[in-house]
C-alpha cells in the first residue's frame, strides 16, 4: 500500500522527540507500517526543520508557513498548513489517507475527495457539546464549529483510540459499524533498556501545562503531603500557557524546594529516565482521550496516581498498576499518593501489575491492527 498519514506535528528524528500523544502515535504507527508499505507523512513546517526528509524510511513532507509548536491559536499558520497540505496531497500517488487530529482531518478529507481514495479519521477524543469552550475557553467555539463540520462528512472509517472515544463518536451521530478501536501503545523494549535507580519520595508529571490537565491540583496535593513527608519532590515536565500560573501557586504555597519545573525535554529517552527514576507518576487530568503517558509510566515500572476518568479507568483496567482518585479532589489525590509512598507492600504489588499491564500495549501488534483495517477497506 501507499499510505498517507496527515498529522499537525511529527517527530524530527528517529529518537521520536515529541510533545504530545498524537504525534507519538503517528510516528510509531508509521514506523511499523513502513516495514511493508510506502508511508508518507504530511505535517506542518516547524522552524528549523527541512521541508522534506526521510525518517526511519518514512517520507516526511512539511508544509505551510514556518511555525513554532503550539496547540492554541496560530490561526494563520494552521490555515496555511491546511491550504498547502491539500495542495501537496492532491499530487501524491497514494491508496489511502488517514487524518490524525482536528487540523489534519479537513486535509485528509479533501485529498481523498480529489484522488477518489478511502479516507480514515484516527480519533482521540470528541469535544462537541460544550467541551471545546470548557477546556480551552472562548476560542473553543472555532473548534466546536470545525469538529461538527468534520463529523458531518462521510468517512470510510473512524479509528478510535479507546472504547470511551468510540462511545462519544456514537453519541455524536457516527455509525458504530464504521468505528474500530486501536489503542495507543509503547515500544516496550525502549523502557526495558533504560536502567536508572528510583529516587525516594519523588513524583512526576509529564504533559502539556493547560488548565484541564489540573497540574494545579497536583501541586496543592504536594502542599498537603509535605506536612508528613517533608522531602517529597514533584518534577513537572512540559510546557504550556499555564506555566506562569502554576509557578505562582508554587510560590504562594512555599513549595519552591519541593516542586521543580523541567520544561520541555527534547529527547524522549530522557523523559523515560525521569519517569523510571520517580517513585510515582501522576496524571490529574480531567480530559483525556487515552492518556498515553500513563502507559509509559506502567512500562517504566512506576506506579501512578491518576484521576478516575473513563478513559483512564478503561486503559488501566480499573486501576491495575496504580491508584485512582476522585477527579479534582485534592485531598483524595494526596491520600492516594501517601498510600503508595508509605505502604511498601502495596507499592510492590502495583509495580508487578505495571509490568503485566504494559504488555497489552505493544506498538507492533497495534500497528498490525491498523494495517488490517486499511487492507479491509481497500478490498471492498
Q: How far, in Å, CA of 283 to CA of 306, rounded?
A: 5
- pLDDT at position 19 is 66
Separation CA 107–CA 102 (nearest Å): 10
For position 258, what pLDDT does the model report?
A: 98
Three-state SS string over the chain comes to: CEEEEECCCCCCCCCCCCCCHHHHHHHHHHHHHCCCCEEEEEEEEECCCCCEEEECCEEEEEEEEEECCCCCCCHHHHHHHHHHHHHHHCCCCCCEEEECCCCHHHHHHHHHHHHCCCEEEEECCCCCCCHHHHHHCCCHHHHHHHHHHHHHCCCCEEEECCHHHHHHHHHCCCCHHHEEECCCCECHHHHHHCCCCCCCCEEEEECCCCHHHCHHHHHHHHHHHCCCCCCCEEEEECCCCCHHHHHHHHHHCCCCCCEEEEECCCCHHHHHHHHHHCCEEEECCCCCCCCHHHHHHHHCCCCEEEECCHHHHHHCCCCCCEEEECCCCHHHHHHHHHHHHHCHHHHHHHHHHHHHHHCCCEHHHHHHHHHHHHHHHHHC
What pLDDT does 131 receive? 86
Q: Can you give the pLDDT at residue 71?
A: 65
| Alpha-carbon gap, residue 138 to 264, rounded angstroms | 27
- Residues in Cβ contact with 372 at an 8 Å cutoff, skipping those fewer than 6 apart: none
* Residue 264, burial from CB neighbour count under 10 angstroms (0-12, 13-18, 19+): middle
Contacts of residue 64, Cβ cutoff 8 Å, sequence gap at least 6: 44, 45, 77, 78, 80, 81, 82, 83, 84, 85
Average pLDDT per run of 10 along the chain, which is 380 residues long? 96 77 91 97 94 97 89 81 97 98 95 98 92 83 91 97 95 97 89 93 96 97 97 96 96 97 91 96 93 93 97 95 98 98 97 93 94 95
Domains and CATH numbers, the chain: 2-185+362-379 (3.40.50.2000), 188-358 (3.40.50.2000)
pLDDT of residue 201: 97
| DSSP bridge pairs for 99 | 6, 121
Amino acid at each position: 500500500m501507499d499510505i498517507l498519514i496527515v498529522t499537525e506535528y511529527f517527530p524530527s528524528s528517529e529518537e521520536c522527540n515529541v510533545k504530545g500523544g498524537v504525534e507519538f502515535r503517528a510516528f510509531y504507527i508509521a514506523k511499523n507500517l513502513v516495514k511493508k508499505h510506502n508511508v508518507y507523512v504530511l505535517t506542518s513546517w516547524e522552524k528549523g526543520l527541512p521541508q522534506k526528509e526521510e525518517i526511519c524510511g518514512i517520507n516526511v513532507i512539511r508544509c505551510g508557513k514556518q511555525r513554532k509548536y503550539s496547540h492554541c491559536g496560530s490561526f494563520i499558520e494552521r490555515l496555511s498548513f491546511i491550504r498547502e497540505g491539500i495542495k501537496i496531497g492532491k499530487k501524491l500517488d497514494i491508496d489511502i489517507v488517514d487524518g490524525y487530529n482536528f487540523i489534519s482531518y479537513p486535509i485528509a478529507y479533501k485529498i481523498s475527495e480529489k484522488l477518489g481514495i478511502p479516507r480514515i479519521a484516527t480519533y482521540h477524543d470528541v469535544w462537541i457539546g460544550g467541551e471545546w469552550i470548557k477546556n480551552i475557553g472562548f476560542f473553543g467555539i472555532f473548534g466546536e464549529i470545525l469538529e461538527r463540520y468534520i463529523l458531518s462528512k462521510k468517512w470510510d472509517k473512524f479509528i478510535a483510540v479507546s472504547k470511551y472515544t468510540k462511545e462519544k463518536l456514537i453519541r455524536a451521530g457516527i455509525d458504530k459499524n464504521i468505528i474500530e478501536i486501536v489503542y495507543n501503545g509503547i515500544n516496550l523494549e525502549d523502557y526495558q533498556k533504560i536502567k536508572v535507580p528510583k529516587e525516594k519520595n519523588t513524583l512526576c508529571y509529564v504533559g502539556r501545562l493547560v488548565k484541564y490537565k489540573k497540574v494545579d491540583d497536583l501541586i496543592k496535593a504536594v502542599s498537603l503531603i509535605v506536612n508528613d513527608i517533608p522531602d517529597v519532590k514533584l518534577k513537572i515536565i512540559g510546557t504550556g500557557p499555564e506555566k506562569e500560573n502554576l509557578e505562582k501557586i508554587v510560590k504562594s504555597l512555599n513549595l519552591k524546594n519541593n516542586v521543580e519545573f523541567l520544561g520541555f525535554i527534547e529527547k524522549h529517552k530522557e523523559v523515560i529516565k525521569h519517569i523510571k527514576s520517580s517513585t510515582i507518576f501522576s496524571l490529574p487530568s480531567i480530559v483525556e482521550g487515552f492518556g498515553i503517558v500513563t502507559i509509559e509510566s506502567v512500562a517504566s515500572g512506576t506506579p501512578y496516581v491518576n484521576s478516575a476518568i473513563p478513559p483512564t479507568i478503561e486503559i488501566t483496567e480499573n486501576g491495575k498498576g496504580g491508584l485512582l482518585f476522585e477527579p479534582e479532589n485534592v485531598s483524595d489525590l494526596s491520600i492516594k499518593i501517601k498510600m503508595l509512598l508509605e505502604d511498601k507492600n502495596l507499592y510492590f504489588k502495583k509495580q508487578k501489575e505495571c509490568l503485566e499491564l504494559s504488555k497489552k500495549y505493544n506498538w507492533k501488534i497495534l500497528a498490525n491492527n491498523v494495517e488490517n483495517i486499511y487492507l479491509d477497506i481497500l478490498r471492498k
